[in-house]
Amino acid sequence: MSEVKNKLIEAAKAGEFLSEVYNLAVQQRGEREAVAEELVSLHNHGQIDVVSEFGNLKNSEGSDFFLTRNIFEAALPKIINPVKPTMDCVLKLVDEAGEDLMAGHILSTFIEFCAADPIRFDEALDVIKLSPVKYNGMIPPVMIGGTQFETDRFLGEIATFSKSHDFRIRSSAFFSLAKIKYPEEKKSSTIFAMDCLLDGIEGESEDRVLANIIKAASSICMANATLNGEAVGCINSALDAGGDFTLHAVSEALMLNGEKLPAEVFDVCLKRLPEANPNNKGTIDNIDHVLASLLKCPDPEKGISLLESLLLKHPKDLSLKAFDSTIHSILQSDKSLLDKLLGSWFSRGDHALCNGIRVIVETTHGESLMPEVDEKSLGRIEFPYLVFTARKAIGYLFNSPLACASIIVSLIKLAKDQQSIQDLASLLFDPILINYSGETYQFLKSKEKIETGKAKSAIRSSIESFDNYLENLRSVTDLPELLPSQSQREASLRHFNRLMSDSFKEAMKDSIFHQICSKAVLLYGTSSISHIREGSGKSRRMETPMQSHGTSIDVPRLASLDPIGLDYTLRVFRNERLKSS
Amino acid sequence: MKLIIKEYLASLKERNELDALLPDLLSQMGLHIFSRPGIGNRQYGVDIAAVGRIDGEPEKVYLLSVKSGDLGRKDWNSGSVQDLQPSLDEIISVYIPTHLPSEHRGKPIEICICIGGDVKEEVRLNITQYEESKRTESLSIVEWDGDRLSAMVEKHFLREDLVPEGIRPLLRKSLALLDEPEASFAHFSNLIFNLRNIDFSNDNKRLTALRQMNICLWILFAWARDCGNLESAYVSSERTLLNSWDISKNYFQKKSKIAKSIQSTFSSILSTYQIVTTQYLSKVVAPHAHKLHGLSSAVSSTEKLDVNLKLFEILGRLSISGLWSQWGYLTNGDKPKIQERYDREINLLTRSLKQLISNNPTLLLPIKDEQVIDISLALLLLSFRDGNDKDCINWLTEMLERAVFSHKTHGSYPCIYRDYSDLLEHPKKQDKAYQEEATSGSVLYPTIALWGALLENFNLFKSVQKAHEESFSHCNFQFWYPGKTSEEHIYRNSDIHGSTFSHVPIDQNPDEFLEAVWNECDHSGVFKELSSVKSGLWPMLLVACRHYRLPIPLDFTLGYREQRQHQEDKPETATSGSE
């Protein structure tokens, strides 16, 4: 008898079977299958009732529930055991897993357990029929597995369950329809399933049930394209009556299936996504993936339209910040996409959209973005439309002065009338150059050399205005009378330190390092010495030199000279709207 | 202490500085001054003439010829009209034979060469030779150099038995900390407090205290000027002026000798105050007001609050100076040349004020309601000159728009807080409860409405009404009026005083609003009884309001009511005439 077996038997006798399984799982690492094999052998030879033992597994602190359960999942398909107690054990382990995404994984191994002796599907069905509410969670695996052996009979059972008075049972039935592998050669099964859905949707108001109907409809239409019309109708009806779960199902269908969905089904799903609840992170994450792939397409219009609809529909609750993959996709794609977006969104002036551009631009690190407005994205270019667009760019991208300057220069190039050129040049001076005289000044200097005609002279005029301004400022001699008093300076420093400390703590909350590393505070020195105990039991000295880390930002000049005015101006720029003609 | 005084004397200029100190010094020493420094009157070399005894010596006539700084070869006899030797010659050959009052003829004469600094070695021999050559039985020539003058100042003004305990250290501390004006002023204000709190059982003690205040202020100013930071001197001069007025006010209607001495010393303090404030403005404000962000950038702070606080402070100071000039203009109606000078000053200050506002946009929105004091001073100054109404309206309209906008967006809207650390945190929260607490009362908004009504810009008045209705319905719009105890406390800030007209009727029409506001002035009636107003020194009241942060009394706007009544009377006269 192997050492593992002995350990397990001893542990079972001592009432520590599950702890031993966990220990073996940790120790064996790559050889967990071997432990599972031992479990099968012990169970099938009647030495330990493995199923019964695992029925006592608790998801509590101190042991890794999923690691232990994985061993059972690996063993289950080969275990010989009566169906009912096995179902009880499986259900217990699903419940114990709680809301974890992996909670239901064991159900697929239960299908394999039944498939090892297909009569088990019938036995399981009988158990379910006797107590359908209790064994509701077992309906999908039994139906999914059963249809692989006897499609029509089990579809018929699903149809029966789908008419249950209990919504949980109906929900499981429709979920089963979503997960069944429909045989390609047997279209009648998809037709039957669709009929089932169409019958089920009538008068259905339970959100979870409707969500599963949508999943099933999208699955069925992918298996049988002739049912697209019915699927569209079914999805629309479900969405009309459903809520957050239904919308989540739509987002999931789009995220998982994407282009594989028939176009008309895809479009109807896409159309309803803006109705998603922005507080449902899972749904928003699904939409994020959908958007990211849509924006990568040669024609990103569908993606742009969906993004605009979403942001405009939830201006207060939803920001582009929630769409990480979308932002990444925009920044990774051709620069023209961003140019197009910013031209279109700034010229419209909606806060939700303009703020979206801010989020995109502020996401970039390192080299600054140099966006330029795409003429085609602008509606009108006569005065004051371009100036309005420029003011929006300043209002939202003020902390990215190079981007602002680049946008304004591109707008000057598009301008046809003198008034627009003059106003745009004056915006380059105030508030751009007045506030940012470093890199931005150099950028405009270099632009002045490259550009020609009206753009060159407009840039030159703004640079000249700034040179004069700076000369005036430099002529103001030292005036100690105007300096804040010592007590004010000290109060201000304390205030600043507190703000920095608060913001540091806030940043630490989201820091990945904070989550994966432990923190040690060194009071003195430039390196950290520690002793690491190796596997052999020896201790090894380790000295880690400390590195300084810093970042710098340009503080706008008016933040200290006229902070209230600057704040006011930027708020005006952000909030102003053009009067509709 | 002597070194401090010597340093101060050495830095004094001849005109209006050293020669302004000496009469007070001589008077304090017990001498009778019969000729004071003046511009334009030819004195044949004599700047100050006095008679009396010094240190128990026989009675003599003292003829002072004053020079600032050190005395070198170029000051002695280099061909300039300002040279000392020709002045001394003139005293001997012209002044003594022809201008010495007859009652002093026959008395021994001492010609005093008064210099703030030292006699340089290069000219020592010349002077000694000169003194020897001119000496007679009844005439001597002596040097009163920085050493001797500082000994006199110390002996007669700041001797330990003359000043309350602790005054000398306070003066030293206020000088040592001139680079930290807040601390320097704290010591100096303590000094003033101690000086004015001595036993005033006799008038001479009051006079001495006033002279001590003046000399201390002068020392502080001279040192501040030398170290290039006039901040402490500015606020100290205001504090000195207000306290000295509180001591002097009861003597202003009297004609006794001591009353005249007190009046004269108060005038010296007023003059010192005006020298300090003028110097402050010409150094700090005037050269830079026309530069975009010029003064804002000079605040050199990364804290956004500092620029706002400093610029409104400057606004108030500039306005107060303009209002003193306006006072000078009005009180010299019979002297066209002087009036013309004041007129030029007012125009210059008004222009600077407008430039200050247009080039420093932080002045378009106060951070604290209290800054309405500086705004009111500026409006008052601008209202004295034609052609400024539009600028006032534009300024106030912009201010109101910004205030309402900031309030709606939880920006830096004007709040009731005064403490620097509270202002640093403002707006601390973005909820309604905090916002209502931070704007629970206001003089700013009703003041904007008031000026809208005064300048007959009803759109501005209506905008305030709208703001009140939409954003500030919780806010108590109010005005402050001086009360019965104001006279006792306003120049010293010794207690809370005055009354507040709470919940002013902003919902009424502009005429009714003005009527209600002005009726309260009539009802109170205290304003006219305030000593500064009664004595014609009304800017003193404005200085008190600015210095101790009190709203400007609305009685200053009563001129508008008279103007209106005058206009209303005109058509009636015309009608009756035609009838």
pLDDT digits (tens, 9 = 90+) for B323-336: 999 999 999 989 99
- Transcribe B253-286 into DSSP letters: T--SHHHHHHHHHHHHHHHHHHHHHHHHIIIIIT
Q: What is the pLDDT of residues A469-497, one digit of tens each?
A: 999 999 987 899 999 998 999 999 999 89
Least confident of A18-22, A466-470, B273-277: A18-22
The pLDDT of residue B577 is above 70: no
Identify the band that residue B575 occupies on the pLDDT scale cut at 50, 70 and 90.
very low
Residue ranges of chain A whose CB lies within 8 Å of a chain B CB = 434, 469, 472-473, 475-476, 478-489, 491-492, 495-496, 555, 557-565, 567-568, 571-572
| C-alpha–C-alpha distance, residues B477 and B439, integer Å | 10
Would the pTM count as exceeding 0.95? no
Substitution target in B177, B187, B292, B428 with the highest count of A β-carbons within 10 Å is B292
Half-sphere exposure of B60 (CA within 13 A, CB side): 21
Using a 10 angstrom Cβ sphere, with 0-12 exposed, 13-18 middle and 19 or more buried, the burial of residue B514 is buried
Contacts 24+ apart (CB under 8 A), B70-73: B70/B10, B70/B115, B70/B117, B70/B118, B70/B119, B70/B120, B71/B113, B71/B115, B71/B117, B71/B118, B71/B119, B71/B120, B71/B123, B71/B127, B71/B145, B72/B120, B72/B122, B72/B123, B73/B120, B73/B122, B73/B123, B73/B126
pLDDT > 90 fraction of chain B, expressed in percent and rounded: 69
User: Inter-chain contact A563–B308, Cβ cutoff 8 Å?
Assistant: yes
| Residue found by looking up tokens 């695996």 in the block | A141
Question: How many other β-carbons are positioned within 10 Å of the β-carbon of residue A188?
Answer: 14
Substitution target in A473, A477, A562 with the highest count of B β-carbons within 10 Å is A562
Among A172, A254, A180, smallest CA distance to A206 is for A172
| C-alpha–C-alpha distance, residues B51 and A220, integer Å | 122
3-state secondary structure B245-260: HHHHHHHCCCCCHHHH
Question: How many other β-carbons are positioned within 10 Å of the β-carbon of residue B99?
Answer: 16
| C-alpha–C-alpha distance, residues A544 and B261, integer Å | 81
Least confident of A253-262, A411-420, B149-158, B502-511: B149-158
The pLDDT of residue A570 is above 60: yes
Q: What is the pLDDT of residues A530-564, one digit of tens each?
A: 888 776 667 888 888 888 877 777 789 888 777 77
Distance from CA of A572 to the nearest CA of B (A): 9
**Which tokens go with A316?**
């207060």
Question: How many helices (H) does chain B have, and how many strands (E)?
Answer: 25, 9
| C-alpha–C-alpha distance, residues A167 and A347, integer Å | 49
Distance from CA of B492 to the nearest CA of A (A): 23
Burial string for A502-529 (b: 16+ CB within 10 Å, else e) reads eeeeeeeeeeeeeeeeeeeeeeeeeeee
Question: Closest chain A residue to B235 measured between Cα atoms?
Answer: A481
The pLDDT of residue B573 is above 60: no
Contact B184, B177 (CB under 8 A): yes
Q: What is the pLDDT of residue B579?
A: 32
User: Inter-chain contact A562–B406, Cβ cutoff 8 Å?
Assistant: no
pLDDT > 70 fraction of chain B, expressed in percent and rounded: 96
A555 vs B contacts (CB less than 8 Å): 302
| C-alpha–C-alpha distance, residues B270 and B288, integer Å | 26
Identify the band that residue B199 occupies on the pLDDT scale cut at 50, 70 and 90.
low
pLDDT > 90 fraction of chain A, expressed in percent and rounded: 70
Q: What is the pLDDT of residue B456?
A: 95
Distance from CA of A557 to the nearest CA of B (A): 9
Contact B224, B8 (CB under 8 A): no
Q: What is the pLDDT of residues B518-533, one digit of tens each?
A: 999 999 889 999 999 9
Q: What is the pLDDT of residue A432?
A: 96
**Which tokens go with B89?**
């010659």
Q: What is the pLDDT of residue A34?
A: 86
The pLDDT of residue A380 is above 60: yes
Question: Is the four-CA dihedral A458, A460, A461, A463 of positive or negative sign?
Answer: positive
B181 vs A contacts (CB less than 8 Å): 481, 485
Among left, alpha and beta (phi > 0; psi -120 to 50; other), residue B228 is: left
Report the complex ipTM. Answer: 0.85
Query: What value does the mean pLDDT take over residues A85-90?
Result: 95
Contact A555, B303 (CB under 8 A): no
User: Inter-chain contact B296–A492, Cβ cutoff 8 Å?
Assistant: no
The pLDDT of residue B574 is above 50: no
| C-alpha–C-alpha distance, residues A151 and A146, integer Å | 7
| C-alpha–C-alpha distance, residues A8 and A18, integer Å | 9
A478 vs B contacts (CB less than 8 Å): 228, 298
Q: At what angle do helices A385-397 and A563-575 cross, to 10 degrees?
A: 130
A471 vs B contacts (CB less than 8 Å): none
Q: Which amino acid is at B193?
A: F
Helix (H, G, I), strand (E, B) or coil at B340: helix
Among left, alpha and beta (phi > 0; psi -120 to 50; other), residue A436 is: beta
The pLDDT of residue B40 is above 80: no
| C-alpha–C-alpha distance, residues B234 and B211, integer Å | 18
Contacts of B359 (CB under 8 A, 6+ apart): B289, B290, B291, B292, B293, B294, B295
Contact B440, B474 (CB under 8 A): yes
Question: Is the four-CA dihedral A173, A178, A181, A185 of positive or negative sign?
Answer: positive
Identify the band that residue A106 occupies on the pLDDT scale cut at 50, 70 and 90.
very high
Segment of B41-50, B131-140, B200-209, B441-450 carrying the highest mean pLDDT: B441-450
The pLDDT of residue B42 is above 90: no
B293 vs A contacts (CB less than 8 Å): 434, 469, 473, 557-558, 561-562
| Residue of A476, A555, A571 with shortest CB distance to B297 | A476
User: Inter-chain contact B179–A487, Cβ cutoff 8 Å?
Assistant: no
Helix (H, G, I), strand (E, B) or coil at B191: helix
Q: What is the pLDDT of residue B576?
A: 40
Q: What is the pLDDT of residue A321?
A: 93
Identify the band that residue B503 occupies on the pLDDT scale cut at 50, 70 and 90.
very high
Contact B248, B207 (CB under 8 A): no
Please report the beta strands in B395-495, taking only residues with DSSP state E, as ranges in sequence order.
Answer: 441-442, 476-477, 479-481
User: In Å, how far are A465, A492, A500, B307, B477 from A495, measured between CA atoms?
Assistant: 36, 5, 9, 17, 31
Contact A37, A31 (CB under 8 A): no
Question: How many other β-carbons are positioned within 10 Å of the β-carbon of residue B329?
Answer: 19
| C-alpha–C-alpha distance, residues A246 and A237, integer Å | 11
| Residue of B294, B298, B420 with shortest CB distance to A491 | B420
- Transcribe A123-171 into DSSP letters: HHHHHHHHSTTTTGGGHHHHHHHHHHH-HHHHHHHHHHHHT-SSHHHHH
**Which tokens go with A481?**
């009378």
Q: What is the pLDDT of residue A3?
A: 81
pLDDT averaged over chain B? 91
Strands B476-477, B479-481: pairing is unpaired
Identify the band that residue A84 occupies on the pLDDT scale cut at 50, 70 and 90.
very high
| C-alpha–C-alpha distance, residues A440 and A454, integer Å | 20
Among B231, B320, B281, smallest CA distance to B540 is for B320
| C-alpha–C-alpha distance, residues B423 and B438, integer Å | 10
**Which tokens go with A281?**
């992170």
| Residue found by looking up tokens 């789009």 in the block | A254
| Residue of B284, B292, B420 with shortest CB distance to A482 | B284
The pLDDT of residue A510 is above 80: no
User: Inter-chain contact B180–A555, Cβ cutoff 8 Å?
Assistant: no
Query: What value does the mean pLDDT take over residues B409-416?
Result: 91
Substitution target in B306, B309, B359 with the highest count of A β-carbons within 10 Å is B306
B298 vs A contacts (CB less than 8 Å): 476, 478-479, 482
Question: Closest chain A residue to B182 measured between Cα atoms?
Answer: A485
Report the length, in residues, of chain A: 581
Q: Which amino acid is at B540?
A: M
Angle made by CA atoms B461, B462, B465, in degrees to the nearest 5: 95
Query: What value does the mean pLDDT take over residues B74-95?
Result: 88
Cα dihedral B184→B186→B191→B196 (10° resolution):
140
Contacts of B524 (CB under 8 A, 6+ apart): B481, B482, B483, B499
The pLDDT of residue B2 is above 90: no
Least confident of A27-36, B240-249, B285-294: A27-36
Contact A574, A399 (CB under 8 A): no
| Residue B291 contacts A where some CB pair is shorter than 8 Å | yes
The pLDDT of residue B475 is above 70: yes
The pLDDT of residue A337 is above 50: yes
pLDDT averaged over chain A? 91
Identify the band that residue A335 occupies on the pLDDT scale cut at 50, 70 and 90.
confident
Contact B71, B120 (CB under 8 A): yes
| C-alpha–C-alpha distance, residues B70 and B86, integer Å | 18
Q: What is the pLDDT of residue A170?
A: 96
B180 vs A contacts (CB less than 8 Å): 485-486
Distance from CA of B165 to the nearest CA of A (A): 28
The DSSP bridge partners found for residue B572 are none
| Residue of A469, A495, A557 with shortest CB distance to B424 | A495
Q: Is the backbone peptide bond immediately before A315 cis, with ω within 30 degrees of 0? A: no
Query: What value does the mean pLDDT take over residues B358-381?
Result: 96
